[in-house]
C-alpha cells in the first residue's frame, strides 16, 4: 500500500484490539487441555490462543486431529459461561469509538470469535452501540478465520474502501486477501514485527495514536 486512502469505514478486530480478553481465553484453553489430560504451560503462557481459530491452535498443543472438536466443545463450555466476561475494554477505547462515530466514521467489528459471543461481550461493556454490524465466526466452522468473516461482512454490508484494525498478523493477512489495508495495534497479543512483515501499513502504540492516524488519513 503506497498511500493509504480509505473512506470513513473501519473494521475492528475484538480480542486484543478492543478488549483485553486473554484471561478468559487462556484459562478456558487450559481447562480444555486439562480435561483431555494434555500437559500444558501455565494459562498466562497460552496467549497464542487469543485471536486465531481454536481449530488451528489446539493441535499445536498436542490435541489429536480427531479430538479437536471435543477440545473446542470443552473450551466453549467454560468460555461461554465464565470466560467471556474475564475481559475488559482497553483504556480509552470507548471514548475513541464515540469520537469516531461523532466524526462520521462507519464502524464494524470483524472477529474470528463466534458472532453470538462477540455481540454479548460488546453489549455487556456497552460498546455495541457504536457499531453498525458485529460480524464473527459461525459456530459450525463454515466461517471461522478472519478472511471468511471479512468476506461475510463485506457481502452483507456492501462495504467499500475500508481499513482493518487488529493486533495480529492474522488480521493483516485476512484483510489483505480482500485488498483492505490494516493498521496494527501494539497493545494486544500479537507481535509488532510479524504485523509489519505481513504488510501492516503502520503499527500504533496507543489508542490516541490510532485515533489521530484515522482522522488524519480518512
11 burial (CB, 10 Å; 0-12 / 13-18 / 19+) is buried
For the chain, the distance separating the N- and C-terminal CA atoms, rounded to the nearest angstrom, is 15
Active-site residue flag, 15: no
Whether 211 contacts 184, CB under 8 Å:
no
- Rounded Cα gap, residues 139 and 128, in angstroms: 20
128 burial (CB, 10 Å; 0-12 / 13-18 / 19+) is middle
Spell out the alpha helix ranges (H) of the chain.
22-35, 54-57, 68-79, 93-102, 115-124, 146-157, 169-176, 192-198, 207-217
Query: Pick the catalytic residue: 13, 15, 167, 169?
Result: 13
Which residues are identified as catalytic? 13
Amino acid at each position: 500500500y503506497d498511500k493509504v486512502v480509505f473512506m470513513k469505514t473501519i473494521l475492528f478486530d475484538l480480542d486484543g484490539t478492543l478488549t483485553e480478553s486473554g484471561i478468559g481465553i487462556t484459562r478456558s484453553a487450559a481447562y480444555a487441555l486439562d480435561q483431555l489430560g494434555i500437559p500444558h504451560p501455565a494459562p498466562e503462557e497460552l496467549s497464542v490462543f487469543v485471536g486465531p481459530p481454536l481449530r488451528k491452535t489446539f493441535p499445536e498443543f498436542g490435541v489429536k486431529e480427531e479430538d479437536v472438536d471435543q477440545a473446542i466443545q470443552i473450551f466453549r463450555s467454560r468460555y461461554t459461561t465464565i470466560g467471556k466476561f474475564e475481559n475488559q475494554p482497553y483504556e480509552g477505547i470507548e471514548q475513541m469509538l464515540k469520537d469516531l462515530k461523532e466524526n462520521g466514521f462507519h464502524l464494524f467489528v470483524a472477529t474470528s470469535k463466534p458472532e453470538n459471543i462477540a455481540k454479548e461481550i460488546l453489549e455487556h461493556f456497552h460498546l455495541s452501540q457504536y457499531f453498525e454490524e458485529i460480524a464473527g465466526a459461525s459456530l459450525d466452522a463454515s466461517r471461522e478465520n478472519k478472511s471468511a468473516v471479512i468476506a461475510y461482512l463485506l457481502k452483507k454490508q456492501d462495504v467499500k474502501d475500508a481499513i482493518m484494525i487488529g493486533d495480529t498478523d492474522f488480521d493483516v493477512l485476512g484483510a489483505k486477501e480482500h485488498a483492505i489495508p490494516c493498521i496494527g495495534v501494539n497493545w494486544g497479543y500479537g507481535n509488532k514485527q510479524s504485523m509489519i512483515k505481513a504488510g501492516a501499513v503502520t503499527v500504533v502504540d496507543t489508542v490516541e495514536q490510532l485515533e489521530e492516524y484515522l482522522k488524519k488519513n480518512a
